[in-house]
Chain A
């Protein structure tokens, strides 16, 4: 049975802050930081936004583009490392908001930045086995970086939602492959507000090792090579890492350009590959092949090979905003307003 993406939706908050503005406060050369990270600005959630509202908006955009009844959704999984509740699933609220409740399976996932793609794999299994007709997989985050930490220059907010099914597929998921090890490159302990990371250790032994092995594992298993794909997207903790890993794997700039969003929105964590994939689906044509590799600290990678079908031609993309459209109507913040929005200012009485 062929399983794939039936519909998709995205959401990115409208607020932005630049590395220069953050660097000004912490005595860091923001311009140099921007250049080294390849991040011109990052998205910031408004005070009334969180992973739940971003997931709801993305899922509603996904539902607007197709004529699937929410009652046919048998499973819904939200992957995030910033679920608003430690105990009380994000997915329950999202399921109610898209009127898919109550006859469905729901759970929240966490695997650093790849929890959303883990949700896609779960839905593939459930649809492929016939357990559910449609499954919803969401990757969304409002990630946090401690004030003054290097992460603060990149940690941003956004998310993507995918309806996985076996009918009216706009992109068949030809194969998926995961590569997982125990690697402590980035973590957040229970009850802690901000994550910690291993600095340069997050590079070669973590991101690059897992993305490259995930990608090679999938290329081997599909007997394809980089040149067989029209588009590619990789987890993007910044703009530099995915650009470098793409080159190492033999992908060129034209293949990764569309799905490379970190330079304009930063690192959306669990939202990163879902948003990159959404940006690609915004412009993909029938027959195009897509290669995607998500990375989650801890650590693991999920790689996907997709083929766009003829159904994309009649798919109603214009019923919801494209990723490009979500990057309009922007408002740039100063650091003080950003700190207020992100709860970094301790108010009297707290």
Chain B
């Protein structure tokens, strides 16, 4: 069964990191939720949708060799828990880098890439991934 409607509902969060802010305690949450897990009833009607800046740093990371089928073209790939500037932790792929480039605490920014596709004739899903910021400029020599 096609998952297009389910993904479509989440597009604002997947494309633009839209989360929520609890205006009772000031905490941010991602993905959006209707009740603050800290303030409970006090947060009713106080949860405001906000776009997160999309910048943060790597909190933890791993290199995946046996992972998702849809990422088989990218093996091995890097997954990280990214702590965004607003304090929210997001798990996502880190791209456009090599294993030796990555370290905990490294600044990253969100970008939009293809996440998966429902076969060659199905819907293509897009969403956030992270790229390192200020990666030292380098150009490896051509492969021969």
Shortest CB-to-CB span from A333 to chain B, Å, is: 6
Chain A interface residue count, Cβ-Cβ cutoff 8 angstroms: 33
Q: Give which listed residue, A60, A85, A332, A340, contacts B141 with CB less than 8 A.
A: A332
Chain B residues near A333 (CB, 8 Å)? 143
A-facing residues in B11-29 (Cβ within 8 Å) = 11-12, 15-16
Query: In the docked arrangement, what's the CA distance between A350 and B144, Å?
Result: 31
Q: Which residue of B lies closest to A333 (CB)?
A: B143
Let me know if A329 and B96 touch, CB within 8 A: yes
B-facing residues in A9-32 (Cβ within 8 Å) = 14, 16, 18, 20-21
Let me know if B15 and A97 touch, CB within 8 A: yes
B-facing residues in A335-350 (Cβ within 8 Å) = 340-341, 350
Chain B residues near A325 (CB, 8 Å)? 137
Known: A14-B96, A48-B113, A340-B73. A41 touches B16 (CB 8 A): no
Query: In the docked arrangement, what's the CA distance between A340 and B12, Å?
Result: 31
Query: In the docked arrangement, what's the CA distance between A41 and B142, Å?
Result: 9
Query: In the docked arrangement, what's the CA distance between A289 and B97, Å?
Result: 38
Shortest CB-to-CB span from B135 to chain A, Å, is: 5
Let me know if A99 and B16 touch, CB within 8 A: yes
Chain A residues near B129 (CB, 8 Å)? 48
Let me know if B112 and A56 touch, CB within 8 A: yes
Q: Which residue of A lies closest to B74 (CB)?
A: A47
Known: A96-B11, A97-B112. A330 touches B143 (CB 8 A): no
B-facing residues in A126-172 (Cβ within 8 Å) = none
Known: A53-B112, A328-B138, A328-B139. A48 touches B95 (CB 8 A): yes
Tally of A-B Cβ pairs under 8 angstroms? 78
Chain B residues near A48 (CB, 8 Å)? 74, 95, 113-115, 129
Query: In the docked arrangement, what's the CA distance between A99 and B112, Å?
Result: 13
Q: Give which listed residue, B51, B95, B98, B142, contacts A46 with CB less than 8 A.
A: B95
A52 within 8 A of B: yes
B34 within 8 A of A: no
Chain B residues near A53 (CB, 8 Å)? 111-114, 126
Let me know if A330 and B11 touch, CB within 8 A: no
Query: In the docked arrangement, what's the CA distance between A20 and B51, Å?
Result: 46
B-facing residues in A287-334 (Cβ within 8 Å) = 325, 328-334
Chain A residues near B143 (CB, 8 Å)? 18, 21, 332-334
Q: B12, B51, B143, B144: which has the most chain A beta carbons within 10 Å?
A: B143
Shortest CB-to-CB span from A25 to chain B, Å, is: 12
Let me know if B11 and A329 touch, CB within 8 A: no
Q: Give which listed residue, B115, B137, B142, contacts A329 with CB less than 8 A.
A: B137
B140 within 8 A of A: yes
Selected A-B contacts with CB under 8 Å, 17 pairs: A21-B142, A41-B142, A46-B95, A46-B113, A53-B114, A57-B112, A84-B124, A93-B126, A96-B11, A328-B139, A329-B96, A329-B138, A330-B140, A332-B140, A332-B143, A333-B143, A341-B73
Extra A-B contacts (6), CB below 8 Å, given A41-B142, A46-B113, A332-B140: A20-B144, A53-B126, A84-B124, A329-B138, A332-B142, A334-B143
Which 8 A-B pairs give the minimum distances between C-beta atoms?
A: A328-B137, A47-B73, A48-B113, A330-B139, A48-B114, A334-B143, A332-B142, A18-B142
Interface residues of B (CB under 8 A from A): 11-12, 15-16, 51, 73-74, 95-98, 111-115, 120, 124, 126, 129, 135, 137-144
